[in-house]
Amino acid sequence: MDFDFTGWTLVFDLDGTLVETAPDLHAALNHTLAAKGLAPVSLDSIRMMIGDGAKALIRKGLNHNEHPIDEDEIDSDLWPTFIDHYLSNITRLSEPFEGAVDCLIDLKASGATLAVCTNKAQNLAEEVLNGLNLAQHFSSIVGGDALPTKKPDGAHIIETVRRAGGQADKTIMIGDAQTDEVAAYDAQLPYVFVSFGYGNYSGESKTPTRSIDHWRELRQALICLAQPD
């Protein structure tokens, strides 16, 4: 269906929405746990741990092992170990979800401004997007450590839109977790939930919402939210 997205800003989460990053995060986490003599976490388990940044992922890996959480140990030992391994292999196994690239190209051709709002650290987000040749599609990329706040605070999305040159009243958020859903509501934005990612949808959203199971469904979901009448 034809639709002119000129003037609209579409803000995407990264992990679990744009890119299947779980395999490389899985490898980095298990490398970090092994260095402490701890048991690995399965790939299926890690999918529900992603979304709040590397340190949060490490904490969840420790909890999985019933290992005490020591923030000093995380900061001085575990996090550097994780980051060193992850940066060295950041796009070894990661790849855009099926249909994502074609959809981004199509939306830009229809006039949309695209942006990324992620709780992933800024340098890691840029490494992933550059490594997969995706950064070129986005007018702004704002990581979880780029601002004093991050999702689920809606200010994270609003600043992402501002940096992209967009307007909040013509913005839609696309993500895979309740962190994104709550942030969209906090920013008073419509929201598209992608079911193939690493989180879930509350089913009780207070903002206009659509759910999709594949990137090929995104355009129609966006049109429904952009012209609700």
Question: What is the Cα–Cα distance from 139 to 50, expressed in whole angstroms?
Answer: 25
Cis peptide before 152 (omega within 30 of 0): yes
CA–CA gap between residue 115 and residue 100 (Å, rounded): 14
In the block, tokens 């419509």 appear at 190
Give the C-alpha separation, 137 to 11, whole Å.
12
Look-up: residue for tokens 């051709």?
109
Q: Provide the 3-class DSSP secondary structure of residue 40.
A: coil
As annotated, the active-site residues are 13
Under DSSP, is residue 181 helix (H, G, I), strand (E, B) or coil? helix
